[in-house]
Amino acid sequence: MTSIPVLLGIGLVGTVVVWAGSSALERSSGRIARHYGLPRLIQGAVLAAVGSSAPEIASTIIATLRYGEFELGIGVIVGSAVFNILVIPALSALLADGTLDTGRDVVYKEAQFYMLSVAALFLIFALAVIYYPTDGAGLQGNVTRPLAMSLLLLYGLYIFVQYLDVSDANTPSTTLTRRSILTQWGLLLGGVALIIAGVEGLVFSAIGLGDAFGTPSFLWGLTVVAAATSLPDALISVAAARIDEPAVSLGNVLGSNVFDLLVAIPAGVILAGTTPVSFTATVPMMAFLVVATIILFGFARTGMEITNREATTMLALYVGFVGWLLLESVGIVDII
Protein backbone atom coordinates (compact mmCIF):
# COMPACT_ATOMS: atom_id res chain seq x y z
CA MET A 1 0.00 0.00 0.00
CA THR A 2 1.31 3.46 -0.92
CA SER A 3 2.07 5.61 2.14
CA ILE A 4 -0.04 8.65 2.98
CA PRO A 5 2.81 11.20 2.45
CA VAL A 6 3.46 9.74 -1.01
CA LEU A 7 -0.26 9.87 -1.87
CA LEU A 8 -0.42 13.50 -0.74
CA GLY A 9 2.66 14.27 -2.82
CA ILE A 10 1.13 12.64 -5.88
CA GLY A 11 -2.04 14.66 -5.35
CA LEU A 12 -0.03 17.90 -5.05
CA VAL A 13 1.96 17.18 -8.20
CA GLY A 14 -1.26 16.26 -10.01
CA THR A 15 -2.79 19.60 -8.96
CA VAL A 16 0.21 21.53 -10.32
CA VAL A 17 0.12 19.61 -13.62
CA VAL A 18 -3.63 20.22 -13.94
CA TRP A 19 -3.06 23.92 -13.28
CA ALA A 20 -0.30 24.11 -15.91
CA GLY A 21 -2.36 22.29 -18.51
CA SER A 22 -5.46 24.32 -17.75
CA SER A 23 -3.54 27.60 -17.98
CA ALA A 24 -2.26 26.70 -21.45
CA LEU A 25 -5.71 25.54 -22.49
CA GLU A 26 -7.41 28.71 -21.22
CA ARG A 27 -4.98 31.06 -22.94
CA SER A 28 -5.25 29.26 -26.27
CA SER A 29 -9.05 28.92 -26.08
CA GLY A 30 -9.41 32.65 -25.44
CA ARG A 31 -7.30 33.52 -28.47
CA ILE A 32 -9.20 31.02 -30.59
CA ALA A 33 -12.50 32.55 -29.44
CA ARG A 34 -11.34 36.05 -30.38
CA HIS A 35 -10.07 34.78 -33.74
CA TYR A 36 -13.54 33.47 -34.60
CA GLY A 37 -15.31 36.52 -33.17
CA LEU A 38 -17.34 34.79 -30.47
CA PRO A 39 -19.30 37.07 -28.07
CA ARG A 40 -17.88 37.40 -24.57
CA LEU A 41 -20.77 35.56 -22.93
CA ILE A 42 -20.35 32.65 -25.38
CA GLN A 43 -16.60 32.62 -24.70
CA GLY A 44 -17.32 32.19 -21.01
CA ALA A 45 -20.32 29.87 -21.23
CA VAL A 46 -19.05 27.49 -23.93
CA LEU A 47 -15.40 27.62 -24.99
CA ALA A 48 -13.81 28.67 -21.70
CA ALA A 49 -16.26 26.49 -19.76
CA VAL A 50 -15.53 23.38 -21.84
CA GLY A 51 -11.80 24.05 -21.57
CA SER A 52 -11.84 24.52 -17.82
CA SER A 53 -14.05 21.42 -17.45
CA ALA A 54 -11.43 19.19 -19.04
CA PRO A 55 -10.18 18.07 -15.58
CA GLU A 56 -13.68 16.99 -14.54
CA ILE A 57 -14.42 14.99 -17.69
CA ALA A 58 -10.96 13.39 -17.48
CA SER A 59 -11.55 12.45 -13.83
CA THR A 60 -14.88 10.80 -14.66
CA ILE A 61 -13.49 8.81 -17.57
CA ILE A 62 -10.32 7.73 -15.73
CA ALA A 63 -12.15 6.85 -12.50
CA THR A 64 -14.72 4.78 -14.39
CA LEU A 65 -12.59 3.04 -17.01
CA ARG A 66 -9.31 2.57 -15.14
CA TYR A 67 -10.46 2.06 -11.56
CA GLY A 68 -14.16 1.12 -11.86
CA GLU A 69 -15.02 4.01 -9.50
CA PHE A 70 -17.95 5.73 -11.23
CA GLU A 71 -19.17 7.21 -7.94
CA LEU A 72 -15.76 8.81 -7.43
CA GLY A 73 -16.27 10.54 -10.78
CA ILE A 74 -19.74 11.69 -9.66
CA GLY A 75 -18.23 12.94 -6.40
CA VAL A 76 -15.68 15.02 -8.32
CA ILE A 77 -18.39 16.48 -10.58
CA VAL A 78 -20.82 17.35 -7.76
CA GLY A 79 -18.05 18.63 -5.49
CA SER A 80 -16.67 20.74 -8.31
CA ALA A 81 -20.16 22.07 -9.07
CA VAL A 82 -20.68 23.08 -5.43
CA PHE A 83 -17.23 24.72 -5.34
CA ASN A 84 -17.94 26.55 -8.60
CA ILE A 85 -21.27 28.06 -7.59
CA LEU A 86 -20.43 28.91 -3.97
CA VAL A 87 -16.71 29.70 -3.81
CA ILE A 88 -15.84 31.13 -7.24
CA PRO A 89 -18.61 33.78 -7.48
CA ALA A 90 -17.95 34.72 -3.85
CA LEU A 91 -14.22 35.19 -4.46
CA SER A 92 -14.96 37.06 -7.69
CA ALA A 93 -17.21 39.48 -5.78
CA LEU A 94 -14.80 39.96 -2.87
CA LEU A 95 -11.75 40.46 -5.10
CA ALA A 96 -13.55 42.81 -7.47
CA ASP A 97 -15.13 45.87 -5.82
CA GLY A 98 -17.21 44.06 -3.22
CA THR A 99 -19.98 43.28 -5.71
CA LEU A 100 -20.29 41.14 -8.83
CA ASP A 101 -22.80 42.28 -11.43
CA THR A 102 -24.76 39.32 -12.77
CA GLY A 103 -26.83 40.69 -15.64
CA ARG A 104 -30.08 39.46 -17.12
CA ASP A 105 -28.46 37.21 -19.75
CA VAL A 106 -26.66 35.22 -17.05
CA VAL A 107 -29.61 35.06 -14.64
CA TYR A 108 -32.40 34.32 -17.10
CA LYS A 109 -30.56 32.02 -19.50
CA GLU A 110 -27.37 30.53 -18.07
CA ALA A 111 -28.59 30.10 -14.47
CA GLN A 112 -31.97 28.70 -15.43
CA PHE A 113 -30.48 26.22 -17.92
CA TYR A 114 -28.04 25.13 -15.24
CA MET A 115 -30.94 24.49 -12.85
CA LEU A 116 -32.57 22.41 -15.59
CA SER A 117 -29.33 20.41 -15.89
CA VAL A 118 -29.32 19.62 -12.16
CA ALA A 119 -32.93 18.42 -12.35
CA ALA A 120 -32.19 16.32 -15.45
CA LEU A 121 -29.25 14.53 -13.79
CA PHE A 122 -31.30 13.83 -10.67
CA LEU A 123 -34.06 12.40 -12.87
CA ILE A 124 -31.60 10.12 -14.69
CA PHE A 125 -30.37 8.66 -11.40
CA ALA A 126 -33.97 8.10 -10.28
CA LEU A 127 -34.86 6.36 -13.57
CA ALA A 128 -31.78 4.14 -13.22
CA VAL A 129 -32.96 2.94 -9.79
CA ILE A 130 -36.59 2.49 -10.87
CA TYR A 131 -36.16 0.76 -14.22
CA TYR A 132 -32.66 -0.76 -14.01
CA PRO A 133 -32.23 -1.79 -10.34
CA THR A 134 -29.22 -3.75 -9.17
CA ASP A 135 -30.33 -7.06 -7.65
CA GLY A 136 -29.95 -7.26 -3.88
CA ALA A 137 -28.18 -3.90 -3.61
CA GLY A 138 -30.86 -1.72 -2.05
CA LEU A 139 -31.40 1.66 -3.69
CA GLN A 140 -28.87 1.07 -6.42
CA GLY A 141 -29.46 1.16 -10.14
CA ASN A 142 -27.61 1.00 -13.44
CA VAL A 143 -27.14 4.09 -15.56
CA THR A 144 -27.37 2.84 -19.14
CA ARG A 145 -26.06 4.34 -22.34
CA PRO A 146 -29.53 5.49 -23.52
CA LEU A 147 -30.03 7.34 -20.23
CA ALA A 148 -26.61 8.94 -20.57
CA MET A 149 -27.33 9.90 -24.18
CA SER A 150 -30.42 11.82 -23.09
CA LEU A 151 -28.17 14.14 -21.08
CA LEU A 152 -25.96 14.69 -24.12
CA LEU A 153 -29.05 15.58 -26.17
CA LEU A 154 -29.96 18.20 -23.57
CA TYR A 155 -26.45 19.63 -23.86
CA GLY A 156 -26.96 19.71 -27.61
CA LEU A 157 -29.97 21.95 -27.01
CA TYR A 158 -27.79 24.21 -24.85
CA ILE A 159 -25.23 24.51 -27.65
CA PHE A 160 -28.01 25.24 -30.16
CA VAL A 161 -29.31 28.09 -27.99
CA GLN A 162 -25.79 29.49 -27.75
CA TYR A 163 -25.38 29.14 -31.51
CA LEU A 164 -28.49 31.24 -32.08
CA ASP A 165 -26.99 33.95 -29.88
CA VAL A 166 -23.74 33.82 -31.87
CA SER A 167 -25.57 34.08 -35.20
CA ASP A 168 -27.50 37.12 -33.94
CA ALA A 169 -24.41 38.87 -32.55
CA ASN A 170 -21.97 41.07 -34.41
CA THR A 171 -18.78 40.66 -32.44
CA PRO A 172 -15.49 41.97 -33.86
CA SER A 173 -12.78 39.35 -34.32
CA THR A 174 -9.00 39.39 -33.94
CA THR A 175 -7.78 37.53 -37.00
CA LEU A 176 -4.66 35.40 -36.52
CA THR A 177 -2.40 34.07 -39.22
CA ARG A 178 -2.80 30.44 -40.26
CA ARG A 179 0.41 29.55 -38.43
CA SER A 180 -0.67 31.36 -35.27
CA ILE A 181 -4.11 29.75 -35.14
CA LEU A 182 -2.59 26.30 -35.68
CA THR A 183 -0.15 27.03 -32.84
CA GLN A 184 -3.06 27.93 -30.56
CA TRP A 185 -4.86 24.70 -31.41
CA GLY A 186 -1.63 22.81 -30.68
CA LEU A 187 -1.33 24.52 -27.29
CA LEU A 188 -4.94 23.65 -26.56
CA LEU A 189 -4.36 19.96 -27.28
CA GLY A 190 -1.12 19.99 -25.27
CA GLY A 191 -3.01 21.49 -22.34
CA VAL A 192 -5.57 18.71 -22.54
CA ALA A 193 -2.77 16.11 -22.44
CA LEU A 194 -1.28 17.68 -19.30
CA ILE A 195 -4.72 17.78 -17.67
CA ILE A 196 -5.25 14.07 -18.31
CA ALA A 197 -1.86 13.25 -16.76
CA GLY A 198 -2.55 15.43 -13.72
CA VAL A 199 -6.03 14.02 -13.17
CA GLU A 200 -4.63 10.48 -13.28
CA GLY A 201 -2.48 11.40 -10.27
CA LEU A 202 -5.40 13.05 -8.46
CA VAL A 203 -7.70 10.04 -8.92
CA PHE A 204 -4.97 7.62 -7.83
CA SER A 205 -4.35 9.77 -4.75
CA ALA A 206 -8.07 9.95 -3.87
CA ILE A 207 -8.52 6.17 -4.09
CA GLY A 208 -5.36 5.56 -2.08
CA LEU A 209 -6.34 8.03 0.65
CA GLY A 210 -9.80 6.48 0.83
CA ASP A 211 -8.24 3.06 1.41
CA ALA A 212 -5.72 4.42 3.92
CA PHE A 213 -8.34 6.16 6.07
CA GLY A 214 -11.06 3.57 5.53
CA THR A 215 -13.42 6.11 3.94
CA PRO A 216 -15.27 6.04 0.60
CA SER A 217 -13.07 7.44 -2.15
CA PHE A 218 -15.87 9.64 -3.46
CA LEU A 219 -15.65 11.72 -0.25
CA TRP A 220 -12.13 12.67 -1.30
CA GLY A 221 -13.45 13.30 -4.79
CA LEU A 222 -16.11 15.63 -3.36
CA THR A 223 -13.53 17.77 -1.60
CA VAL A 224 -9.84 17.50 -2.49
CA VAL A 225 -10.06 16.38 -6.12
CA ALA A 226 -13.06 18.64 -6.81
CA ALA A 227 -11.27 21.73 -5.48
CA ALA A 228 -8.12 20.86 -7.44
CA THR A 229 -9.98 20.38 -10.71
CA SER A 230 -11.96 23.60 -10.14
CA LEU A 231 -8.78 25.67 -9.97
CA PRO A 232 -8.95 26.63 -13.69
CA ASP A 233 -12.52 27.88 -13.29
CA ALA A 234 -11.49 29.95 -10.28
CA LEU A 235 -8.56 31.56 -12.10
CA ILE A 236 -10.67 32.49 -15.15
CA SER A 237 -13.66 33.81 -13.21
CA VAL A 238 -11.70 35.85 -10.68
CA ALA A 239 -9.52 37.36 -13.42
CA ALA A 240 -12.60 38.25 -15.49
CA ALA A 241 -14.32 39.84 -12.49
CA ARG A 242 -11.26 41.96 -11.67
CA ILE A 243 -11.21 43.43 -15.20
CA ASP A 244 -14.96 44.11 -14.95
CA GLU A 245 -16.25 41.32 -17.20
CA PRO A 246 -18.88 39.66 -14.99
CA ALA A 247 -20.56 37.97 -17.99
CA VAL A 248 -17.43 35.91 -18.59
CA SER A 249 -16.91 35.32 -14.86
CA LEU A 250 -20.36 33.88 -14.10
CA GLY A 251 -20.88 32.53 -17.61
CA ASN A 252 -17.77 30.37 -17.22
CA VAL A 253 -18.92 29.03 -13.84
CA LEU A 254 -22.44 28.13 -14.99
CA GLY A 255 -21.35 26.90 -18.41
CA SER A 256 -18.68 24.72 -16.81
CA ASN A 257 -21.25 23.18 -14.46
CA VAL A 258 -23.68 22.53 -17.32
CA PHE A 259 -20.89 20.77 -19.23
CA ASP A 260 -19.88 18.72 -16.18
CA LEU A 261 -23.42 17.51 -15.46
CA LEU A 262 -24.57 16.89 -19.04
CA VAL A 263 -21.32 15.74 -20.70
CA ALA A 264 -18.66 14.71 -18.17
CA ILE A 265 -20.85 12.26 -16.24
CA PRO A 266 -22.44 10.66 -19.36
CA ALA A 267 -19.00 10.32 -20.98
CA GLY A 268 -17.88 7.73 -18.43
CA VAL A 269 -21.11 5.77 -18.84
CA ILE A 270 -20.97 5.76 -22.64
CA LEU A 271 -17.37 4.54 -22.68
CA ALA A 272 -17.79 1.96 -19.92
CA GLY A 273 -21.32 0.78 -20.72
CA THR A 274 -23.92 0.17 -18.01
CA THR A 275 -22.60 1.66 -14.77
CA PRO A 276 -24.03 1.12 -11.24
CA VAL A 277 -24.84 4.12 -9.06
CA SER A 278 -26.01 4.24 -5.43
CA PHE A 279 -29.09 6.41 -4.97
CA THR A 280 -28.52 6.66 -1.20
CA ALA A 281 -25.05 8.13 -1.81
CA THR A 282 -25.97 10.48 -4.65
CA VAL A 283 -29.23 11.92 -3.27
CA PRO A 284 -27.67 13.84 -0.31
CA MET A 285 -24.97 15.25 -2.59
CA MET A 286 -27.49 16.26 -5.25
CA ALA A 287 -29.78 17.73 -2.60
CA PHE A 288 -27.01 19.98 -1.30
CA LEU A 289 -26.19 20.97 -4.89
CA VAL A 290 -29.83 21.96 -5.40
CA VAL A 291 -29.77 24.08 -2.22
CA ALA A 292 -26.53 25.77 -3.29
CA THR A 293 -27.98 26.41 -6.75
CA ILE A 294 -31.11 28.04 -5.33
CA ILE A 295 -28.98 30.28 -3.10
CA LEU A 296 -26.80 31.36 -6.04
CA PHE A 297 -29.84 32.07 -8.20
CA GLY A 298 -31.52 34.04 -5.40
CA PHE A 299 -28.43 36.14 -4.70
CA ALA A 300 -27.77 36.72 -8.41
CA ARG A 301 -31.38 37.81 -9.04
CA THR A 302 -31.72 40.29 -6.17
CA GLY A 303 -30.40 43.57 -7.51
CA MET A 304 -28.71 41.73 -10.40
CA GLU A 305 -25.51 41.54 -8.36
CA ILE A 306 -23.76 39.48 -5.68
CA THR A 307 -22.80 41.71 -2.76
CA ASN A 308 -20.00 41.41 -0.24
CA ARG A 309 -22.37 40.10 2.44
CA GLU A 310 -23.88 37.53 0.06
CA ALA A 311 -20.40 36.42 -0.98
CA THR A 312 -19.44 35.87 2.66
CA THR A 313 -22.61 33.83 3.20
CA MET A 314 -21.75 31.62 0.22
CA LEU A 315 -18.24 30.98 1.54
CA ALA A 316 -19.65 30.11 4.97
CA LEU A 317 -22.05 27.64 3.35
CA TYR A 318 -19.15 25.95 1.54
CA VAL A 319 -17.20 25.69 4.80
CA GLY A 320 -20.28 23.99 6.28
CA PHE A 321 -20.34 21.61 3.31
CA VAL A 322 -16.70 20.62 3.84
CA GLY A 323 -17.32 20.26 7.58
CA TRP A 324 -20.22 17.90 6.90
CA LEU A 325 -18.02 15.73 4.69
CA LEU A 326 -15.27 15.68 7.32
CA LEU A 327 -17.79 14.41 9.87
CA GLU A 328 -18.83 11.77 7.34
CA SER A 329 -15.23 10.68 6.86
CA VAL A 330 -14.62 10.09 10.57
CA GLY A 331 -17.95 8.31 11.06
CA ILE A 332 -19.65 10.91 13.31
CA VAL A 333 -22.32 11.54 10.67
CA ASP A 334 -23.67 8.78 8.44
CA ILE A 335 -25.92 10.37 5.82
CA ILE A 336 -24.03 9.37 2.68
Asked whether residue 295 is domain-assigned, the answer is yes
Q: What is the mean pLDDT of the chain?
A: 82
Domain that holds residue 27: 4-329
Q: What is the DSSP letter of 232?
A: H
User: Which of 249, 233, 271, 264 has its CA nearest to residue 117?
Assistant: 264
Specify the DSSP class assigned to residue 214.
T
Q: How far is CA 139 from CA 13, 125, 236, 247, in A?
A: 37, 10, 39, 41
Could you tell me if 218 and 74 are in contact, meaning their C-beta atoms sit under 8 angstroms apart?
A: yes
Does some domain include residue 334?
Answer: no
* pLDDT above 90: residue 317: yes
Could you report the per-residue pLDDT of 158-176, keeping only the tens digit for each? 888 877 766 555 555 567 7
Distant-in-sequence contacts of 174-180, Cβ < 8 A, 24+ apart: 174/31, 174/34, 174/35, 175/35, 176/31, 176/35
Q: Which whole number is the average pLDDT over 299-305?
A: 83
Is the residue at 127 inside a domain? yes
**Residue 312 confidence (pLDDT):** 93
**In Å, what is the CA distance from 57 to each residue of 24, 25, 141, 192, 220?**
17, 15, 22, 11, 17
Check: CB of residue 125 under 8 Å from CB of residue 286. Answer: yes
Nearest CA to 143 out of 277, 245, 287 is that of 277
pLDDT at residue 50 in the model: 67
CA distance 78 to 84: 10
SS3 176: coil
DSSP state of 264: I
Q: Where are the alpha helices (DSSP H) in 214-330?
A: 217-220, 226-229, 231-242, 246-259, 265-272, 279-301, 308-329
Q: Residue 280: is its pLDDT beyond 90?
A: no
Long-range contacts of 327-333 (CB under 8 A, 24+ apart): 328/215, 328/219, 329/213, 329/215, 329/219
> What is the percentage of the chain residues whose pLDDT exceeds 90?
16
Residues in CB range of 26: below 8 A, 6 or more apart: 48, 51, 52, 191, 232, 235, 236
Amino acid at 60: T
The C-alpha atoms of residue 276 and residue 133 are separated, in whole angstroms, by: 9
Q: What confidence tens digit (pLDDT) does each residue in 108-123 have?
A: 777 788 889 999 999 9
Predicted local distance difference test score (pLDDT) of residue 214: 80
Question: Tens of pLDDT along 167-201?
Answer: 555 555 567 788 888 898 898 888 888 888 998 89
The count of domains in the chain is 1
Task: Identify whether 335 is part of a domain.
Answer: no
Q: Check which CATH number belongs to the domain holding 137 and give it.
A: 1.20.1420.30
Strands (E) across the chain are located at 100-101, 140-143, 275-278, 305-306
pLDDT at 139 over 60: yes
- The pLDDT score that the predictor gives to residue 217 is 79
pLDDT digits (tens, 9 = 90+) for 196-234: 899 889 988 988 888 888 877 778 888 888 888 887 778
Is the alpha carbon torsion for 214, 122, 83, 269 positive or negative? positive
Would you say residue 46 lies in a domain? yes
Say if 336 falls within a structural domain.
Answer: no
